[in-house]
Amino acid sequence: MSKRLLAGLLCCLLLAGCSRGPKTGQGFRFPLAGEPRTLDPQIASDPAALTVIQSLFEGLVTLREGEPVPAAARWELSSDGLRYVFTLFPGCWGDGTPLRADDFLFAYQRTADPATGSPHRQALAGVAAVTAPGEDTLEITLAAPDDRFLYTLAAGVLYPCPRAFFAGCGGGYGMEPETLQGNGPFKLVQWDHGKYLLLHKNGGYRNAAAVSPGAVRYVLGAAGLSDLKEGRVDGAQLSPAEGAAWPRRVTVEDTVTLLRFNLSREPLQDPAVREALRDGIEWERLDPLLPGVPTRSFLPPAAGIPSDLTAPATRATPGLGLPALTLLCPEGEEWRQAAHVILQSWQKNLGAYFRLEQLPADTLAARLAAGEYQLAVAPFTPAPGSRETLERQERELRESCAAVPLTVTPRIYGLSKDITGVEVEPFTGRFIFLNAKR
Q: What is the pLDDT of residue 132?
A: 97
The predicted model gives 371-384 an average pLDDT of 91
- pLDDT(12) > 60: no
Torsional sign, CA 146, 147, 150, 155:
negative
**pLDDT confidence band for 25 (50 / 70 / 90):** low
Residue 419 falls within a domain, yes or no? no
Residue 400 to residues 261, 295, 311, 373, 379: CA-CA distances in angstroms?
Answer: 11, 18, 16, 19, 19
**133 — alpha (psi -120 to 50), left (phi > 0) or beta?**
alpha
The answer to which of 10-14, 43-47, 254-258 has the lowest mean pLDDT is 10-14
3-state SS of 118-163 is: CCCCHHHCCEEEEEEEECCEEEEEECCCCCCHHHHHHCCCCCCCCH
Residue 418 falls within a domain, yes or no? no
Provide DSSP, 193-231: TTTEEEEEE-TTSTTGGG---SEEEEEEB---HHHHHTT
**Predicted TM-score (pTM) of this structure:** 0.79
Q: What is the pLDDT of residue 303?
A: 85
- pLDDT(300) > 60: yes
How would you list the strands of the sheet with 73-77, edge to edge? 73-77, 83-88, 137-142, 127-134
Provide DSSP, 29-75: EEEESS--S---TTT--SHHHHHHHHHH---SEEEETTEEEESSEEE
Residues above pLDDT 70, as percent of the chain: 94
- pLDDT(84) > 70: yes
Residue 421 falls within a domain, yes or no? no
Is residue 187 domain-shared with residue 290, that is, in the same domain? no
Q: What is the DSSP letter of 268?
A: T
Residue 21 falls within a domain, yes or no? no
Is residue 267 domain-shared with residue 401, that is, in the same domain? yes
Q: What is the pLDDT of residue 341?
A: 97
Q: What is the pLDDT of residue 292?
A: 86
The answer to which of 80-84, 273-277, 327-331, 381-385 has the lowest mean pLDDT is 381-385
Measured between alpha carbons, how far is 94 from 56 in angstroms, rounded to an integer?
A: 9
Residue 43 to residues 7, 30, 113, 117, 175: CA-CA distances in angstroms?
Answer: 18, 24, 11, 7, 12
How would you list the strands of the sheet with 256-261, edge to edge? 293-294, 403-408, 256-261, 375-380, 325-330, 354-359
- Select from 170, 197, 221 the last residue of a domain: 221
Measured between alpha carbons, how far is 54 from 59 in angstroms, rounded to an integer?
A: 9
Q: What is the pLDDT of residue 255?
A: 93
The predicted model gives 87-107 an average pLDDT of 95
- Select from 197, 221, 245 the last residue of a domain: 221
The predicted model gives 48-55 an average pLDDT of 94
Q: What is the pLDDT of residue 309?
A: 78
- Select from 172, 194, 221 the last residue of a domain: 221
Average pLDDT over the chain, rounded to an integer = 89
Is residue 260 domain-shared with residue 217, that is, in the same domain? no
Is residue 200 domain-shared with residue 153, that is, in the same domain? yes
CATH number at residue 37: 3.90.76.10
Strand partners, 6: none
Highest mean predicted confidence (pLDDT) among 46-50, 355-359, 408-412: 355-359
Is residue 203 domain-shared with residue 75, that is, in the same domain? yes
The predicted model gives 386-393 an average pLDDT of 77
Q: What is the pLDDT of residue 265?
A: 94
Is residue 353 domain-shared with residue 261, that is, in the same domain? yes
Q: What is the pLDDT of residue 23?
A: 40
The count of domains in the chain is 2
Is residue 210 domain-shared with residue 305, that is, in the same domain? no
The predicted model gives 247-259 an average pLDDT of 93
Among residues 203, 221, 222, the alpha carbon closest in space to that of 213 is found at 203
The answer to which of 125-134, 139-148, 201-210 has the lowest mean pLDDT is 201-210
Is residue 201 domain-shared with residue 326, that is, in the same domain? no
**81 — alpha (psi -120 to 50), left (phi > 0) or beta?**
left
Helix or strand (DSSP H, E) at 278: helix 271-279
Among residues 44, 54, 47, 37, the alpha carbon closest in space to that of 199 is found at 54
Other beta carbons within 10 angstroms of residue 219's beta carbon come to 18
Q: Give me the half-sphere count of Cα atoms (radius 13 Å) on the Cβ side of residue 24.
A: 10
Structural domain that includes position 267: 256-409
CA 207 to chain centroid:
24
- pLDDT(415) > 70: yes
Q: What is the DSSP letter of 14?
A: -
Counting Cβ atoms within 10 Å, is residue 22 exposed (0-12), middle (13-18) or buried (19+)? Answer: exposed
Residue 106 falls within a domain, yes or no? yes
Q: Is 9 helix (H, G, I), strand (E, B) or coil?
A: coil
Is residue 113 domain-shared with residue 197, that is, in the same domain? yes
Residues 110/161, Cβ–Cβ less than 8 Å: yes
Is residue 210 domain-shared with residue 272, that is, in the same domain? no
User: Between residues 277 and 148, which one has the greater pLDDT?
Assistant: 277
What is the chain's length? 438
- pLDDT(241) > 90: no
- pLDDT(413) > 90: yes
User: Between residues 54 and 387, which one has the greater pLDDT?
Assistant: 54
Q: What is the pLDDT of residue 385?
A: 66
Helix or strand (DSSP H, E) at 106: helix 101-112
The predicted model gives 129-139 an average pLDDT of 97
Measured between alpha carbons, how far is 110 from 113 in angstroms, rounded to an integer?
A: 5
Residue 270 falls within a domain, yes or no? yes
Measured between alpha carbons, how far is 434 from 186 in angstroms, rounded to an integer?
A: 10
Residue 415 falls within a domain, yes or no? no
- pLDDT(10) > 80: no
Is residue 190 domain-shared with residue 310, that is, in the same domain? no
CATH number at residue 266: 3.10.105.10
- pLDDT(187) > 70: yes
Q: State phi, psi for 348 to the nearest 5 degrees.
A: -70, -45
Q: What is the pLDDT of residue 429?
A: 86
Is residue 209 domain-shared with residue 264, that is, in the same domain? no
Q: What is the pLDDT of residue 386?
A: 65
User: Between residues 392 and 190, which one has the greater pLDDT?
Assistant: 190
- pLDDT(144) > 70: yes
Residue 51 falls within a domain, yes or no? yes
